[in-house]
Structure 1
Amino acid sequence: MTWWRNPRQRLGVICAVVAVLVIVALVHRDRAERTGSTPVQGARVAATAAAPAESVPPRSPAPPAKPSSVPKHVLPDLVGADFQQAWDGARRAGYRFVTSHDAGGRGRRQFVFSNWKVCDQSPGPGPLATELRVDLGVVRHDEKCPAGSAPTAEPKVADGRMPALNGRGLTVVRRALRGDTHVKARDLGGSRLVLIETHWLVCTQRPAEGAPVSDTVEVGVVKYGEHCP
């Protein structure tokens, strides 16, 4: 009978193997305590000492960011053109923000573009960024472009004080003061009724410029083409 079939012999062999393993483990532990490191730690230290130190290459500075390229197109010269054609031309050139104002300072709205012509443009013609707003000053075809720069922006009330109203269109003045005061217009050239306000120019004002804004502002007006008295 072989030993692995005999229970007693098999048990004895197993006990002998276990004893040998215990003895080997104790010997290794004793060595580790004397050297102050475990076998795995010793292997790691030896490997670290044997391996050459790796040199870390210096980081190169990041390249400077390139400025965002703004697409540019050539804005044509639109002065003297029919407003509808000028508007279409600016749009075809890539300019999507096209606005207009009454170059005569009357504050009229442009509903039918073909009834108007361009007197001035801002900015002028040339290669420009397409994000820019193109503003066109226009008058009706049967009118002459103003010789000088007529005030076209609405006057602003600052700190409750009256702005300068003289020389501005009655429509522009009423829009500027809407919500702050009531505007009462009087014809300085006679007793005409002031009906179509875009036809009238302000010559006088009360209260005067710089005075506190009152509930009612009186303005003296004449028709465009007439001279203030």
Structure 2
Amino acid sequence: MRTHRTIAVLAFAGGLALTGCQETRDPAGGAPAASATASAPSTAPGASAPGTAILPDLVGKGLQAAQDEAQAAGFRTLKSHDALGRGRLQAMDRNWKVCSQEPRGGAAVSTDTSVDFGAVKLEEACPAQDASAPPAAGGSMPDLAGKSVKVARGALPPNTGISVKDSAQGRMVLQESNWKVCTQSPAAGTPLAGQPVAFTAVKFEEACP
């Protein structure tokens, strides 16, 4: 009798072990249910789209102060140019003041808009409107009288041979943005075919002879 009881107990224990090893199936009798839930891959957020903000009216302010205020309002793409058309660089922003801005202030615009300031030095008067650049030379010589020597040079083909002489005192023309063209050869309208160009010039505060 003891032998039969021992066999029965062992058989019952084996049945429990087999039951514990069976896979759990879904109620519909399909494939075994997953033992763990896989998490969905996270997606890195993309760059946020630019917003809009009121662009301040910065005309009349120092260039450095204007740039700081524009940046504080959310505008990061800033540039400036010489409003007198002389082609000078605004290397020291604190020495320049704003005469014009594009876009104009007071309107809501996208913060990725490029803001361009027309500026002059602190001791200079703002022009009624920004001086326009001369047209680039095509097949003929442009009229460059009154333009800065730097701007005149930039209007000609890069392979043009150019000479510049002081028409007043025989000085060396070093800082070309400080000198204006008095005469030019060849004359405006002359066909350009690689010939050299000669300018005479004086400083901007001086009168051409």
TM range (shorter): 0.5 to 0.7
- Counterpart of 1:96 in structure 2 is 76
The 5 Å alignment of 1:6-45 reads none
The 5 Å alignment of 1:47-196 reads 71-126=51-106, 127-151=108-132, 153=133, 155-158=135-138, 160-177=139-156, 179-196=158-175
1:170 Cα offset (Å): 0.8
Deviations 1:33-86 (A, max 9, x none): xxxxxxxxxxxxxxxxxxxxxxxxxxxxxxxxxxxx974211111111111111
The whole-number CA distance in structure 1 between the counterparts of 2:111 and 2:144 is 36
The whole-number CA distance in structure 1 between the counterparts of 2:159 and 2:134 is 14
**What CA RMSD, in Å, does the superposition of the two structures yield over aligned residues?**
2.2
Q: TM-score, normalised by structure 2?
A: 0.67
Secondary structure of the structure 1 residue equivalent to 2:163: strand
Contact 1:169 1:198 in 2 (8 A): yes
Distance 1:157 1:180, change over 3 A: farther
1:155 Cα offset (Å): 3.5
Structure 1 unaligned blocks of 5 or more: 1-68
| Moved beyond 6 Å, runs of 4+ | none
- The residue type paired with residue 75 of structure 1 is L
Q: What percentage of aligned pairs have identical amino acids?
A: 45
Contact 1:206 1:218 in 2 (8 A): yes
Deviations 1:16-46 (A, max 9, x none): xxxxxxxxxxxxxxxxxxxxxxxxxxxxxxx
Identify which of 197, 205, 221 aligns with 2:176: 197
Contact 1:154 1:175 in 2 (8 A): no
- The residue type paired with residue 82 of structure 1 is G
1 or 2, which has the higher helix percentage? 1
Secondary structure of the structure 2 residue equivalent to 1:212: coil
Which has the greater radius of gyration?
1
1:171 Cα offset (Å): 1.1
- Counterpart of 2:18 in structure 1 is none
Contact 1:180 1:215 in 2 (8 A): no
- The residue type paired with residue 73 of structure 1 is A
- The residue type paired with residue 84 of structure 2 is G
The whole-number CA distance in structure 2 between the counterparts of 1:218 and 1:181 is 10
Q: TM-score, normalised by structure 1?
A: 0.62
